[in-house]
Amino acid sequence: MKIALTYNLKKKDSTKPADYFSECDSQETVNAIISALQSKGHSVEAVDVEPPQVFSYFRQNRVDMVFNIAEGKRGRFRESEIPAILDYLDIPYTGSNTFSLALALNKTLTKKILKAESIPTPDFQLFETGNEQVDPTLRFPLIVKPNCEGSAKGISSSNVVHEEEALYKKVREIIVMYHQAALVEEFIEGKELTIGILENGKTTILPILEIDFADCVASGEYFYSWRMKEFQGNKEMGLLPTFHCPARLDKHTESLVKQTALRTHHAVGCFDISRTDIRLSKDNIPYVLEINLLPGLNPRESNFPIMAYAAGMRYEDLIEAIVMSAMKRRKGL
């Protein structure tokens, strides 16, 4: 097949905030996907979607399939930008559609759907202006997050607040810095879990990945913050989380967590691939934090490939499974 890989490349630009390009992909990831596709006999064109000629590019260069990992340019619907162009041109692409991508990027809207489906998610409140009063039913500690970001952008240990004054200060800071509403949630103490779902002929729930931050506490970071994600593995910074895949869970809890992720995948209407982030509370409730429809695919360090390897898949097989699933959908199979 002739496949185009659409992506936004991580860049170095000291004029931008440190986390500006965090959602974008590295050249290493782009190269790995190209090699994987080629190893399966596909011809591949790499399309960095940063230049604005994407529309004319796809009008002139017909491809059989687009392997889409593009995060888009800006705004709350950015992940839908490339799929919208491809829909218009009737070109099939891997992964979720415009609607689900826009929905999942909005954490509050997603949480409302989860609540309606009786899927546990931390209690929350959306602050749009920063002048709202906190809902007195919410229990501290609370965590403040930008409502429409990923890659833990804007999330550090100082986002966990223990009293009202610190809460309002952080809420205003997030609204100003990220030009969007701030989501405030109850902070769930417990295990950090992430669950990959892959459509590869059937719907497969990959072995659960548990990320243990116990050895990182001296660094000041104790959950999957931006610094943790950006610098994980850095010994000098003390950011050495331990990965357990499969997670250390009893059979009943494992099944409960997996079913919760699967229900989330269906509730949001995902296609081909998703990764659900869950905090398992001390009383064993799997609280869904969010679902990622464009999970990182770095072959060395991204969570999703780690889970695929634990299921016995090679990187090339993971990439090919995503393509095949999208192709099957296209053919209406």
Ligand X SMILES: Nc1ncnc2c1ncn2[C@@H]1O[C@H](COP(=O)(O)OP(=O)(O)OP(=O)(O)O)[C@@H](O)[C@H]1O
- 124 vs 168 by CB, closer to Mg ion: 124
Distance CA 126, CA 134 (A): 9
Work out whether 151 is an interface residue with ligand X (CB under 6 A).
yes
Which listed range, 10-18, 19-27, 201-209, 270-278, lies at the site for Mg ion (CB under 5 A)? 270-278
Which listed range, 111-119, 143-151, 163-171, 263-271, lies at the site for ligand X (CB under 6 A)? 143-151
Q: CA dihedral in degrees (297, 299, 303, 304; nearest 10)? A: 60
Query: Which of 4, 104, 188, 280 touches ligand X (CB under 6 A)?
Result: 188
Query: Which of 145, 191, 227, 265 touches ligand X (CB under 6 A)?
Result: 145
Query: Which of 181, 209, 289, 294 touches ligand X (CB under 6 A)?
Result: 289
Work out whether 271 is an interface residue with ligand X (CB under 6 A).
no
Which listed range, 66-74, 170-178, 221-229, 322-330, lies at the site for ligand X (CB under 6 A)? 221-229
175 φ, ψ (degrees, to nearest 5):
-60, -40
Work out whether 79 is an interface residue with ligand X (CB under 6 A).
no
Question: 199 contacts which partner out of Mg ion, ligand X, none, CB within 5 to 8 A by kind?
Answer: none
Work out whether 121 is an interface residue with ligand X (CB under 6 A).
no
Work out whether 302 is an interface residue with ligand X (CB under 6 A).
no
- 192 vs 320 by CB, closer to ligand X: 192
Question: And the tokens for 325?
Answer: 């699933």
Question: 187 contacts which partner out of ligand X, Mg ion, none, CB within 5 to 8 A by kind?
Answer: ligand X
The reply to whether omega before 246 is within 30° of 0 (cis) is yes
Work out whether 197 is an interface residue with ligand X (CB under 6 A).
no
- The least distance separating ligand X from the CB of residue 279, rounded to whole angstroms, comes to 5
Work out whether 277 is an interface residue with Mg ion (CB under 5 A).
yes
- 229 vs 265 by CB, closer to ligand X: 229
- The least distance separating ligand X from the CB of residue 195, rounded to whole angstroms, comes to 12
- The least distance separating ligand X from the CB of residue 228, rounded to whole angstroms, comes to 8
Query: Which of 143, 161, 270, 313 touches ligand X (CB under 6 A)?
Result: 143
Residues that bind ligand X (CB under 6 A): 122, 143, 145, 149-153, 155, 185, 187-188, 192, 223-224, 229, 277, 279, 289-290, 292
